[in-house]
Amino acid sequence: MAKLKVGVLISGRGSNLQALIDACEDESYPAEIALVLSNVADAAGLKRAEAKKIPTKVIDHKAYEDREGFEDAMQEALTAAGVELICLAGFMRLLTEGFVGRWRDRLINIHPSLLPAFRGLNVHDRVLEYGARFSGCTVHFVRAAVDDGPIIAQAVVPVHQDDDADSLAARILTHEHRVYPLVVRLIAQSRVRVTDDLVTVRDPQAPMGTMINPAPE
């Protein structure tokens, strides 16, 4: 059976890219990375891909007069590589409605909060300032608005009283590395369906039990 061809867009270190690379090394995994594309020439994630002989391409957004020109160049590269699903993994460029529309329900993102709460940047600082007892990460289909779109999967972690932004980010990142490959697997297995901007998953395994923070004595 043909594997789903994935394009991963990065701007930095590529830790979620590495999680996807690791997942794809399992021969039974139903997806493969066809292209890693970055807008930053020295993004560390490119070296992760090159080490595994995964095709890479740099398209510098600053070389284009507008976002549409930049996105047309990305579209050409992604199409040439046969990409069927795009994964945003620390890609620090806002995408236009036109590009998002071309890839509707074939473009996913991971965000380090429990969306729709705490969209945007500086998420962990804001979680702590608000006093939230739980945080986590969300994988969702991308829509034109920032950190918006149908939610596919989430992972929840407790916020500790002595957390700072770095310790909370590290706890969440561990689960980002689990949930992103899971979502790609579900999509590759045709188990994810979007209807009226709501996602259903065929044969989901819902967790049992409840977490309370602080925990009852």
- Asked if 139 and 110 count as a contact pair (C-beta separation under 8 A), the reply is yes
Burial of residue 76 (number of CB atoms within 10 Å: 0-12, 13-18, 19+): exposed
β pairing state of 31-38 and 56-58: parallel
Q: What is the DSSP string of 141-169?
A: E--SSTT-S-EEEEEEEEPPTT--HHHHH
- Asked if 40 and 12 count as a contact pair (C-beta separation under 8 A), the reply is yes
Question: Could you give the residue numbers annotated as active site?
Answer: 111
Residues contacting residue 62 through CB under 8 Å, at least 6 positions apart: none
